[in-house]
Structure 1
Amino acid sequence: MPETTLQDTEAREVLGVDGAVFDPLVHNPKNGVTGGVWRVSAGRRSAVLKVLTRNKEATERWAASDDPRHWNYWRREAHVYESGLAQVWQPYGIRAPRLLALVERPDGDAALWLEDVPGEPATAWPLARHVEHARRLGAAQGAVRPDDHPWLTRRFLRRYIGGNTLGQELLDDDEAWRHPLVRDHFPPGLRREMVRLHHDREWFLQVLEDLPRAFCHLDMWPANLRSDGPATVALDWSFAGDGALGEDLGNYLPDSVFDLFVPAARLPEYAAAAYDAYLRGLRESGRDIDERLVRLAVCASAVKYDWLTALMLARAGEEQLDYGGGRPISAELRYRERGLTLAFLAEWAAEARASAPELGFPEPPSGRHR
């Protein structure tokens, strides 16, 4: 629970009434930049409070950074909102919550008071709504190329993946691959492909960094989206910055399955429909681009999950919890769905290795000795 007097004063100024109630919302409690997230209600009025901080203890992986280009720069989300950048996609059907107030606190924290969006979370959307979101995303990223800002993320994937090292030594550990959850639920051949992806990581990152650029959200997954009638509301802009055109889609599709919002069995049809919709949006935007480069960005984005295989090996013996750690979930279900999704990403990686040289990129290291 936040510090009462300060929070109540802010709530009174934002909502205009006394007696506010603070209900914690699900978020990543490990992240050192997030002091907490609450839905704040008073009578019929409500808002969402998100506290940004650099004073919270966190592991090195999730520590807050003072480097404005770092993927976990602590104040980025406040900059995105106060600059208006969070709303640049609004003409294309994707907007951010309205900023009600930004409070600079005496302890150095920043309190974001945001519109409480009551719409349906994307975690419960039908596939057709996800596909429509992909079209809107393509139109927005094709049309909007804002000026750079010194606090936008640069080289996000390289830095993000580089900090995810848990379990990497297990990729070559026979015993880890014999754990029943891994043995029974990871498809045949997945070990070979994931080890290969790990060894090719630098090549994939360089390809992504050399592809056409876009303003990206960089944490685009269903838990960060809500519906607002026909519009989509995107939450959590703390990673926003420069990315490859198509990179956000390459994150959104597998993340829909990794956290059990879409069945893995539907991923191939879902990914195909969403990719076609994204291209349709790009064409609607009028942006002139070789669509093969967009496809390469989507497929090469598989490298973002290089770390996930190692993590699954490392945590096979642990209790499996949902996002935010609020409740246990079926280990068998998680490993089966993630195993199938990793196998799908291995196909994306193979496609990227095959298509990149045809588009002028060097062959991957693992492809030079075939």
Structure 2
Amino acid sequence: MSQDVPATVANIDLATLTDVVRQDQRSPAFELREWTVAPLGHHKIIDTTGGLYCVSGRGYDERGERPWSVVLKILNSDNVSDQRHWAYWKREVLAYQSGLLASLPAPLAAPRCYGVREVEGGAWIWMEHIVEAGERRWGLAEYALAAQHLGAFGGAYLTGTPLPDVPWLSDGFFASAFAPDDWWAPHMDPSQPGNTWENPMTQRWYPEPAKGWTIGLWSEVQRFTAAMDRLPQVFSHLDAHRRNLMLRAGADGQPETVAIDWAFSGRGPVGADAAALVFTSLFYFEREPATAAELERAVLDGYRAGLRSAGWGGDEGLSRRGSRAQGGSRPAGFLPGGTGFI
């Protein structure tokens, strides 16, 4: 076992793991031989992400011996009690427990869930290990296809699929994240101690006049969030950037996009997931910043095609407004405020 694997994970109960793998293999008689646990690389943004691990090995049933692999995601609880808060720690747990993520409008999907165990101080989620088809570095065609799937997903809620009516989904994600009494607002305030403008990386990326321009944009962030609320609302992932999306062939052989990490999911304006696919992917340098304009064109074209495939005949310009409204709030707050996470 890797030294980066805690003992509680390394010493997984055999009965629990056997049940998980039998679900994954769709074989009630599957027996395990040996297995190992290894940490999966991920970018930790909030403290509620406790760890991500790949558990893999070999096993057998009447069809013979074969390899298997599953993922264990560990979440840490915190003192946020507002279930609508943008960073409510238990949201993904409840989304899987409720079955919401098992019946998403195709061709968007979430990993299959094999069990949720609530433990002292958090929860464990056992899920499918997604193996992506194709290259790690996406071209414009892959971004456009994922955007089309996101558009079809969002479009379903504009053409008859009811929005999930549960109290634990986020509602007004950016209004919550950028609220004056939350973490981000004082972090962006140059007069507050420990603000982002004291970070050498922020100073390097945001010299004057970019710093002044960004602070001015930040002062308008509530206008952006109000504009989002006036747009048609859909169930949204709200963190649908490249690192959280994987392309593969679905059960019917057709391409599908599997979205992981549903911790921020909830009500959002049409176009919100397109904004994340553009701006947050650029934030993580999944595309060169110089390609931002062509990336946005490819993603918005794909997203609108997805809306049409869902049967939505509304004003396609609304999706661009939703994307731009979210896109405007991201460079205003998320980009300079998030430099400490890189």
**Greater percentage in helix:** 1
Cross-structure match for 1:47: 70
Q: Distance in 2 between matches of 1:99 and 1:168?
A: 38
Answering whether residue 69 of structure 2 is matched by residue 72 of structure 1, we say no
Cα RMSD for the two superposed structures: 3.0
Q: Distance in 2 between matches of 1:167 and 1:122?
A: 37
Cross-structure match for 1:124: 137
Residues 64, 45 of structure 1: alpha-carbon distance in 2 compared, 3 angstrom cutoff: farther
Residues 122, 239 of structure 1: alpha-carbon distance in 2 compared, 3 angstrom cutoff: farther
Alpha-carbon contact 1:194-1:309 (below 8 Å) kept: no
Q: Distance in 1 between matches of 2:200 and 2:20?
A: 53
Answering whether residue 169 of structure 2 is matched by residue 152 of structure 1, we say yes
Query: Alignment partner of 1:17: what SS?
Result: strand
Q: Distance in 1 between matches of 2:210 and 2:320?
A: 23
Cross-structure match for 1:327: none
Cross-structure match for 1:136: 149
| 4+ long deviations beyond 4 Å | 6-9, 120-123, 176-189
What amino acid does structure 2 have at the position aligned with 1:47? V
Q: Distance in 1 between matches of 2:200 and 2:265?
A: 39
Deviations 1:166-217 (CA, angstroms, capped at 9, x unpaired): 6523399xxx989997787659853343122111111111111221101000
Deviations 1:62-116 (CA, angstroms, capped at 9, x unpaired): x55232212222221122123232244352x2111111222234x2632211011
Instruction: Name the % identity.
Output: 29
Cross-structure match for 1:36: 51
Q: Distance in 2 between matches of 1:33 and 1:140?
A: 27
For residue 111 of structure 2, the aligned residue among 97, 113, 128 is 97
For residue 210 of structure 1, the aligned residue among 211, 225, 230 is 230
Counting only pairs closer than 5 Å after superposition, residues 104-253 of structure 1 correspond to structure 2 as 104-105=118-119, 107=120, 109-120=122-133, 124-144=137-157, 145=161, 146-162=163-179, 163-165=183-185, 167-170=187-190, 190-229=210-249, 230-253=255-278
Q: If the length of structure 2 is used for normalisation, what is the TM-score? A: 0.78
Alpha-carbon contact 2:55-2:69 (below 8 Å) kept: yes
Query: Alignment partner of 2:32: what SS?
Result: coil
Query: Alignment partner of 2:278: what SS?
Result: helix
Alpha-carbon contact 2:73-2:126 (below 8 Å) kept: yes
Cross-structure match for 1:12: 18
Alpha-carbon contact 1:208-1:244 (below 8 Å) kept: yes
Deviations 1:41-76 (CA, angstroms, capped at 9, x unpaired): 12211100012231xxxxxxxx55232212222221
Query: Alignment partner of 1:207: what SS?
Result: helix
Cross-structure match for 2:332: 306
Query: Alignment partner of 1:67: what SS?
Result: coil
What amino acid does structure 2 have at the position aligned with 1:241? G
Cross-structure match for 1:361: none
Cross-structure match for 1:273: 298
Residues 67, 297 of structure 1: alpha-carbon distance in 2 compared, 3 angstrom cutoff: same
Residues 34, 7 of structure 1: alpha-carbon distance in 2 compared, 3 angstrom cutoff: farther
Q: Distance in 2 between matches of 1:185 and 1:68?
A: 35
Q: Distance in 1 between matches of 2:113 and 2:150?
A: 22
Q: If the length of structure 1 is used for normalisation, what is the TM-score? A: 0.73
What amino acid does structure 2 have at the position aligned with 1:95? A
Deviation at 1:18, TM superposition (A): 5.1
Query: Alignment partner of 1:26: what SS?
Result: coil
Query: Alignment partner of 2:298: what SS?
Result: helix
Alpha-carbon contact 1:122-1:223 (below 8 Å) kept: no
Gaps of 5+ in 1: 55-62, 316-320, 323-370
Alpha-carbon contact 1:8-1:20 (below 8 Å) kept: no
Q: Distance in 2 between matches of 1:181 and 1:50?
A: 30
For residue 318 of structure 2, the aligned residue among 283, 293, 297 is 293
What amino acid does structure 1 have at the position aligned with 2:122? D
